[in-house]
Each structure stands twice: as C-alpha cells, then as structure tokens.
Amino acid sequence: MRPGVLLVAALAACAQAPVGAPPQDSVVPGTIGVVAREVESRVLIAAVGTDSPAAQSGVRVGDQVVRYNGVRVASLRQFYRLVVDSPPGSVARLEVLRAGTPQVMEVPVEQLDLLPRV
C-alpha cells in the first residue's frame, strides 16, 4: 500500500462526529438560565439570564426553589444536578416561594452551551 493511502486510511479510522454533534451515547446537559445560591439551607435564585427560558417563564431573582420536577430541593448542588440532568427540549416544573407565596412555573430546558468563549 502506498504511504498516502495508509495516511488516509488511518485518518478515516480516527474520524469523529461532526463538531457540535454529540456522540450518540453522550449526555447533553440542560439549563434553564439561572444562577442560584444557598442561603441558610435555602436555594435562592440569584440571577436570571436575559431572554432565558426562566425569564420567559416568570422566574425572578429572590425566588426560593422548593421543588424541581416534583423533587424537593435540599441543596444548591442538588438543584444544579437536577437542572443539568434535564434533557434539552423537555419542560421542567419549577415550584418556588415568592415572598412566602407558592408559585409554579413550567420552564423549557435548553442545551447548556459548553463551548469556550473567545
């Protein structure tokens, strides 16, 4: 076999999925577009992204997250894990307390952008 043919065969064997397309067996992380913080064992919304699914669904800074898709939220880490594990394209049911009043919002889940910023 000629050297050029060997190189092409070797490169073909290493071919990857196109950039931007996740491998079939990968998990694509979700986001709803919020930043949260934990204060005295409560998970509070600290920031809501402009034009994010959360903003469009009525989530506000200061909302206390109580449940995410029916699961009681006990810590910041658990909240982020629940959000990241939500499949993009799904709709999350977010239960919050706003000034002591329960609120329920349906928030679309988007794909988390993991590309480096330049």
Map out the domains of the chain with their CATH numbers: 28-111 (2.30.42.10)
pLDDT on residue 113:
78
- pLDDT, tens only, 19-66: 455 555 556 899 999 999 999 999 999 999 999 999 999 999 999 999
Contact in structure between 92 and 33 (CB atoms under 8 Å): no
* 6-37 burial: b if 16+ Cβ within 10 Å, else e: eeeeeeeeeeeeeeeeeeeeeeebbbbbbebe
pLDDT on residue 76:
97
In this prediction, residue 17 has a pLDDT band, given cuts at 50, 70 and 90, of very low
